[in-house]
Structure 1
């Protein structure tokens, strides 16, 4: 499924950004196997699948594909949809192939997935509550039409949905072959064994902290507002980690809120980052973590709180705090977080009906090791200068590593007059890199922008920091 999406999706968010995850779930639901490219998806396919299975209880048939895209129905950030396809074998419901993917645009106040000043979720995207996209194998055209009519990038969204459906259909055929060759009992036994193995493997890894009880806190910096307090009590017993966020900041009227399903992924990856490549992600791994939070807090918000910066900012703060607390007396755990500038560009709002946004990401923050991006940046591919110019209309004037280890990039807009939504995260009172608009002798920092103009011929200068030690030493 993962390879099919990467090869057939048209949007660069999926094909290059790897902003998706795939899984096979049992009916409980339990994750039998999952492939993802960043931390944000860890618990979210299971949570979204649970919302779908509960909503369509006793109303699922062979050929159905059901969809949900709602931060408050097992989701996280806006414009991310989970597609679930019940798989039947010999008339019985056995497994659920699932794909969770970020689409290019699903309404919202600004095109794309970035709205750094949103105060409620409807400013970021429409809420796609559980719907059937396919019923008994037949496309429900009214549902597809509803999704496409609420997108400024209808052709792009349509093509990505087609790629996702193709991957789910292929997964069903492969599962059918597997069950016919091996038998249902053997397959279900293998799933149980894999989950048990994951539980034991991660339990053994986490047992190094058995008996630990630590308390810590950090802040999430906001431009022009008071910092957000994040408090954590961390304990471990029996190879299970408990992260208690009680006492953290109440939810805010800005998109820094992070849903309770989402925050679990960042805690888990922060705890087991060193073994992520050695363990298959399944329910046995997920069950080794418990998270507590207060309803209405920054880590468990209530509708309609906006959540769009939870991946770019809040998740990094959560992971950084967990890593610092687990490190204790100098266990040598490398930092895995690394916020970086982000910008989404589009034609002037209201200028045309079809206005597909695109994220311009010509570089990346550098990890503490100094050779690649931090773990939380996922597995995104760095586009070449030729691709950026031919496809996105931006000429790369230079892209190089500075003496301090940061990546500096200068690009020229050759696409015509544009507008942008942009954010440069803050940490410890410092900007995490820089994003500057250059027009002749005039330089304008784009620290937090919604709908700001990017004229034709203007320059954009990106600075992506290196995350090694204090931020003071990185920029």
Structure 2
């Protein structure tokens, strides 16, 4: 008999065990996904996430502790879209979808959704996302910085049934593999995502068998209610009023002008409304954000400020996001969106943190590097006789905060993905990293300085490749708060045949053909400073001098 039926209410110990059990189901899915993927961006960089979503409307029940934060809101929006579109799903089916306008992000974030049945009844949905290094399109790797419509960015998939009652549809697989580069690698990633969902089925079934359906359902409802109560308590502690700030993007990749994310946050009791209506209009290039990505970025920004929030949908019931419809933060078909999940989302997080900094100085962070440093290289390796796609991302400095200096070489503010080891990249691709070190002196000064970015250069060893990159914070360094200074901006240099150039759009470019001996150099941003540099301690100043951080 279920514990709830026995006792009439769920006890705190059982509640905690079930909460951790649900998270563990997701974490095991993450682990299987990571360990069985063929692409280094997933197997080494951990650019993936798995979760459990409510049968009614797809709202999030749980996500793995090692899943990317940006998918907090994205995968629940994907699941909601699948529920609305596919009422014909059966036990054992798996839906494949990457359509940005269907609760997605950019095309490279490929989702799978599987209905979970328990004792013959549809009980919830399991979903995951994996970043595929290529989904076709004009540019190897998918980060097409000059795209002006979604059709130029790659293969777009509405919710299609990839697996039918446990059997993979080979026709769908053939269509997908015929439209992507290095198909032998993609099929491994496809099977890894399917395997992760199968692991979730086994582990969630075991959890329900152990504690009973009614007990687990009661725990989920209680956890959601507690998440909402905790968020309301946090919001209620903010003085009522309207707070405003803006974050700026370098350009959209097509028109060389800055884009503004302007935010007005209004707090009224335990509710908060975030209004983006003053932001820039929809843009020509691929920095438009789809609704799911914008919403999720807001959630991530609030979780940065309130890190004790659990990962369930209840936490965000007091949060209302408005004013996006006529801006580049709610893209409509066919606008290009390649940069939404990795770059635009980080500017949204930055806007949220800057907006609430003056209301909550003891919970605030200066801006971090705020760029995933997306860099792709596609070509043919004459030594192996094989085509390849390398997609890599890089870390940067985090902003100083109320408790200390910012983290050096931190991951993106919307992810927990780590740098792929250069040894793995050198082993897989025809290139050599000539340096990979800290970018000393890049931190924004303040009472607490930002963290340092990194400085790396790789050289093509053989053959020919085509490089593209889509980054941010090249025109503007990450801003400080409360008197802190900005960190150094992003810098990119490309050497082709001995001639060194910089991209016209500073942080974005494509079509750079590299031949043997050519190189690319990237210097990622340092984090912004927190507070007045005059208040920095003598001991901290002495340490700064050791790391090349000037006091001038």
Q: Hey, what does 2:377 align to over in structure 1? A: 345
TM-score (norm 2): 0.79
Query: Relative to structure 1, is the Cα distance of residues 159 and 374 closer, same or farther in structure 2, using a 3 angstrom cutoff?
Result: closer
> 2:472 matched to 1:425?
yes
Q: Hey, what does 1:127 align to over in structure 2? A: 156
Q: Pick from 417, 423, 444: which aligns with 1:380?
A: 417
Q: What is the rounded CA distance, in whole Å, between the counterparts of 1:42 and 1:348 in structure 2?
A: 37
> 2:474 matched to 1:444?
no
Q: CA deviation at 1:191?
A: 1.0
Query: Relative to structure 1, is the Cα distance of residues 306 and 102 closer, same or farther in structure 2, using a 3 angstrom cutoff?
Result: same
Q: CA deviation at 1:22?
A: 0.9
> 2:176 matched to 1:154?
no
Q: Deviations over 1:213-270 (max 9, x none)?
A: 1233343221652222322221123433211112322211101111121111222222
Q: CA deviation at 1:168?
A: 0.7
Q: Deviations over 1:265-295 (max 9, x none)?
A: 222222221443x333111123232111243
Q: What is the rounded CA distance, in whole Å, between the counterparts of 2:39 and 2:55 in structure 1?
A: 31
Q: What is the rounded CA distance, in whole Å, between the counterparts of 1:364 and 1:324 in structure 2?
A: 21
Q: Quick check: 1:466–1:474 contact (8 Å CA) kept in 2?
A: no
Equivalent runs, 1:42-441 vs 2, <5 Å: 42-57=72-87, 59-222=88-251, 225-276=256-307, 278-328=308-358, 331-332=361-362, 333-335=364-366, 337-340=368-371, 341-347=373-379, 355-361=387-393, 363-368=394-399, 369-373=406-410, 376=413, 378-404=415-441, 405-426=452-473, 429=476, 432-439=489-496, 441=498
SS in 2 for 1:202: helix
Q: CA deviation at 1:165?
A: 0.7
RMSD: 2.6
SS in 1 for 2:495: strand
SS in 1 for 2:63: strand
Q: CA deviation at 1:338?
A: 1.8
Query: Relative to structure 1, is the Cα distance of residues 90 and 372 closer, same or farther in structure 2, using a 3 angstrom cutoff?
Result: same
| Rg larger in structure | 2
Which sections of structure 2, spanning at least 5 residues, go unmatched? 1-28, 400-405, 442-451, 478-487, 531-547
Q: Quick check: 2:39–2:189 contact (8 Å CA) kept in 1?
A: yes
Q: Deviations over 1:19-77 (max 9, x none)?
A: 221111121222110135434212111111111111111x1211111122111111111
Q: What is the rounded CA distance, in whole Å, between the counterparts of 1:55 and 1:474 in structure 2?
A: 55
Q: Pick from 525, 539, 544: which aligns with 1:465?
A: 525
Query: Relative to structure 1, is the Cα distance of residues 330 and 2 closer, same or farther in structure 2, using a 3 angstrom cutoff?
Result: closer
> 2:57 matched to 1:20?
no
SS in 2 for 1:255: coil
Q: Hey, what does 2:37 align to over in structure 1? A: 9
Q: What is the rounded CA distance, in whole Å, between the counterparts of 1:270 and 1:18 in structure 2?
A: 21
Q: Deviations over 1:77-101 (max 9, x none)?
A: 1222221111111211101111122
Which sections of structure 1, spanning at least 5 residues, go unmatched? none
Q: CA deviation at 1:373?
A: 0.9
Query: Relative to structure 1, is the Cα distance of residues 198 and 219 closer, same or farther in structure 2, using a 3 angstrom cutoff?
Result: same
Q: Quick check: 1:43–1:286 contact (8 Å CA) kept in 2?
A: no
Query: Relative to structure 1, is the Cα distance of residues 374 and 135 closer, same or farther in structure 2, using a 3 angstrom cutoff?
Result: closer
Q: Deviations over 1:390-449 (max 9, x none)?
A: 222322222222430442222222242111112342455468322212357531224432
Q: CA deviation at 1:356?
A: 3.7
Q: Which moved more, 1:209-218 or 1:279-288?
A: 209-218
Q: CA deviation at 1:317?
A: 2.0
Q: CA deviation at 1:186?
A: 0.8
Q: What is the rounded CA distance, in whole Å, between the counterparts of 1:420 and 1:321 in structure 2?
A: 30
Q: CA deviation at 1:313?
A: 3.0
Q: What is the rounded CA distance, in whole Å, between the counterparts of 2:158 and 2:386 in structure 1?
A: 24
Runs of 4+ residues over 6 Å off in structure 1: none
SS in 1 for 2:250: strand
Q: Quick check: 2:78–2:104 contact (8 Å CA) kept in 1?
A: yes
Q: What is the rounded CA distance, in whole Å, between the counterparts of 1:162 and 1:188 in structure 2?
A: 30
Query: Relative to structure 1, is the Cα distance of residues 60 and 320 closer, same or farther in structure 2, using a 3 angstrom cutoff?
Result: same
Q: Quick check: 2:146–2:285 contact (8 Å CA) kept in 1?
A: yes
Q: CA deviation at 1:337?
A: 3.7
TM-score (norm 1): 0.91
Q: CA deviation at 1:456?
A: 1.2
Q: CA deviation at 1:173?
A: 1.3
Q: Which moved more, 1:6-15 or 1:333-342?
A: 333-342
Q: What is the rounded CA distance, in whole Å, between the counterparts of 1:264 and 1:379 in structure 2?
A: 19
Query: Relative to structure 1, is the Cα distance of residues 342 and 119 closer, same or farther in structure 2, using a 3 angstrom cutoff?
Result: same
Q: Quick check: 1:467–1:474 contact (8 Å CA) kept in 2?
A: no
Q: Quick check: 1:338–1:377 contact (8 Å CA) kept in 2?
A: no
Number of aligned pairs? Answer: 468
Query: Relative to structure 1, is the Cα distance of residues 406 and 131 closer, same or farther in structure 2, using a 3 angstrom cutoff?
Result: closer
